[in-house]
Structure 1
Amino acid sequence: MCAGDREVAVAGLRVAVVVHAASGHGAAARVAPRVVERLSGVVSRVTVVEADTVERSRAGLLRARDAGLDVVVVVGGDGSVHQAVQFCAEHGVALAVVPSGTGNDLGRALGVPARAAEAVEAVVAALGAGARRRVDLGRVAGGAWFASVLCAGFDSAVNERVNRMRWPHGRRRYDLAIVAELAALSQRTLVVDTDGGRLELAATMVAVGNTGFYGGGIPVCPRADPADGVFDLTVVGQMSRWDLVRMLPTLRTGEHVGHPAVRTLRARRVSLGGDNEWVAYADGERLGPLPVVVECVPGALEVVG
């Protein structure tokens, strides 16, 4: 396909490029001009939306929608993608991702190239070919959509601690938070109600996966498929500190699902509760304390590619 053919193929398309400049320690800001330049040559209109706050991002996208909008291209990490998912699911706009953050879990699950330069070319090629597909989303009862994983328990407690810490910066903050939460580890009662039954146990953590990855590539729900209409659940039961320390490295490979304390389930609708004081996070964003009810909504999001 020559350049002229490509331009004709996507003529009429109106694209908003959402840029969270701080993503990836400034990587998104460095990548964004190339994304805008590349798309400007092959679509009818490109609108740049600065996503330095949730409110500003949403206002910019609403203005773009009112002027006519077909595709949102996110240049950023999972936090930026999470906000774009809310907009795209609510307004029937397709989503494309140019990974430029630290996690990039949805892009990974969708098969988007990890390198931003390659991801831009993949988006351009998909727009030219008209390649679209629909994927499932999770929806919290009365609230937000999520595309990747909702979790509660040990991992969300680590997130809570990290968010309270002001020092150190970077990965060391997470390492210290993990050590602190291991020291404070205590199993709590978790109640999991699904359309397939009820599970009550002393638990360490639970993950509800629309896709498999969270935390920057950890396959916590390794068999999750965002196009099968159901969630995959990973429930980690009672564990000592030492057992949890030994199991944590297997999360990186997906081998944790073979551990005797781990149960896996599949469900369309899930209620998480119990006497545990746990806080739920979805796509890395804080939702609030349990109980929480979530449902898998088949085909709720159109993606490019």
Structure 2
Amino acid sequence: MKLLLVVNPTASSVTARRRVAVEDILAAGHELSVVVTERRDHATELARRAAREGVDVVVVLGGDGTINEAANGLAGSSTALGALPGGSTSVFARTLGFTNDLVVAAKQLTAALDAGSRRRVEMGTANGRRYLFNLGAGFDAEVVGHVEGGSLKSRLGQAAFVYSALVTWLSQEDRTKPHLSVKIAGEETTYGGSFVLCLNTNPYTYLGRRPLNVAPGTGFGTGLAVAVIRDVRLATLSKVMRCAFGDGHDVGRQPGVTLRTEVESVTITGEDPFPHQADGEYLGRVNTLEVGYESDCLDVVTPS
């Protein structure tokens, strides 16, 4: 089988020793080529070229942002995506069922390749860009932007997100007023929110080993789950987090939270340009987000 390994050398869990170990595992019984990303969206270019050249599987050794880039390059092709947990959180690989131990996950991946274990999955879309597991607008994306704006992530790992969430929350001038308007397809009501999550899969993310469950039951093939959190008062956020650290079934029952599942599309607009992120990658500020759902989009390798 012809494999291309796309390596993000700056990803949190990528070290020279681990990279060599992964390359050795993948090369056993397969025709392996290795490329290194050099800039933002480079993985999209590399994956798209690999699909044109008939590569069977593009394996990504990097974080969720690099995996997202590769997925955007492979969408619509017959070349499959192999996701390894090379980031600080590695939501997508873990959601698929891979262990968070990079070397063990590489062995799982080769076993899946040998068994032909893969599936065609759906992806979310936001203003034309595809995403694999979550899109966030407002407060959530502002936190991600704060993390990516400095060296916190490389120094603190996942703790950077906790620190940035606190800094971002303290900087909010008005924690009670919703700044976003959300229109869900098929509903007459327009909802107000301080932040919005559009999930293609559950969990929303992980904090250490613990998943944050926002929409249990949401996964590939179910449509999107949309959670609108009206404000960022401490009372609201603490209740949502408490539920999310559990099984997540009560998130949508909390005051100030609107949760819809099996959603095909949603429009998010802001009073002013608002931040957004996709799969943990900060994408800047926009006035409007048109969020959708694309079926039969991407082949992914799954643990056998």
| TM-score for both structures, normalised by structure 1 | 0.84
Using the alignment, how far apart are the partners of 2:232 and 2:51 within structure 1? 49
| RMSD of aligned residue pairs (Cα, Å) | 2.5
Matched, 1:273 2:304: no
Matched, 1:207 2:180: no
Pairwise CA distance, 1:46: 0.8
Using the alignment, how far apart are the partners of 1:59 and 1:156 within structure 2? 25
SS of match in other structure, 2:89: coil
Q: Does the CA contact (< 8 Å) of 1:190 and 1:200 recur in 2? A: no
Residues 139-186 of structure 1 deviation map (CA, whole Å, 9 limit, x = unaligned): 223x31100101112211222333445669425543443223323134
Residue correspondence of structure 1 range 246-285 to structure 2 within 5 A: 246-253=239-246, 254=248, 255-266=250-261, 267-275=263-271, 277-285=273-281
Residues 89-126 of structure 1 deviation map (CA, whole Å, 9 limit, x = unaligned): 15431011121211111112211222222212221122
Residues 240-279 of structure 1 deviation map (CA, whole Å, 9 limit, x = unaligned): 3344245434333325333122121121111111425421
| Matching residue within 190, 194, 197 for 2:184 | 194
Residue correspondence of structure 1 range 1-305 to structure 2 within 5 A: 13-27=1-15, 29-43=16-30, 45-54=31-40, 56-141=42-127, 143-165=128-150, 169-170=155-156, 171=158, 173-183=160-170, 184=172, 185-216=175-206, 217-228=211-222, 230-238=223-231, 240-253=233-246, 254=248, 255-266=250-261, 267-275=263-271, 277-287=273-283, 288-305=285-302
Using the alignment, how far apart are the partners of 2:49 and 2:69 within structure 1? 16
Pairwise CA distance, 1:227: 2.3
Which protein shows a greater Rg? 1
Using the alignment, how far apart are the partners of 2:42 and 2:50 within structure 1? 12
Using the alignment, how far apart are the partners of 2:12 and 2:52 within structure 1? 30
Pairwise CA distance, 1:300: 0.6
Pairwise CA distance, 1:63: 4.9
Identity %: 25
Q: Are the structure 2 counterparts of residues 67 and 202 from structure 1 closer, same or farther at C-alpha, using a change threshold of 3 Å?
A: closer
Using the alignment, how far apart are the partners of 1:273 and 1:72 within structure 2? 35
Q: Does the CA contact (< 8 Å) of 1:191 and 1:201 recur in 2? A: yes
Q: Are the structure 2 counterparts of residues 163 and 50 from structure 1 closer, same or farther at C-alpha, using a change threshold of 3 Å?
A: closer
Q: Are the structure 2 counterparts of residues 135 and 62 from structure 1 closer, same or farther at C-alpha, using a change threshold of 3 Å?
A: closer
1:84 alignment partner AA:
A
Q: Does the CA contact (< 8 Å) of 1:188 and 1:275 recur in 2? A: no
Q: Are the structure 2 counterparts of residues 98 and 197 from structure 1 closer, same or farther at C-alpha, using a change threshold of 3 Å?
A: same
Using the alignment, how far apart are the partners of 2:95 and 2:279 within structure 1? 12
Using the alignment, how far apart are the partners of 1:41 and 1:31 within structure 2? 16
Find runs of 4+ consecutive structure 1 residues off by over 6 angstroms.
Answer: none
Structure 1 residues not aligned, in runs of 5+:
1-12
Q: Does the CA contact (< 8 Å) of 2:14 and 2:62 recur in 1? A: no
Using the alignment, how far apart are the partners of 2:296 and 2:289 within structure 1? 22
SS of match in other structure, 1:112: coil
| TM-score for both structures, normalised by structure 2 | 0.84
Structure 2 residues not aligned, in runs of 5+:
none
Q: Are the structure 2 counterparts of residues 85 and 59 from structure 1 closer, same or farther at C-alpha, using a change threshold of 3 Å?
A: closer
1:48 alignment partner AA:
V
Using the alignment, how far apart are the partners of 2:257 and 2:93 within structure 1? 27
Using the alignment, how far apart are the partners of 2:193 and 2:244 within structure 1? 17
Using the alignment, how far apart are the partners of 2:26 and 2:75 within structure 1? 23
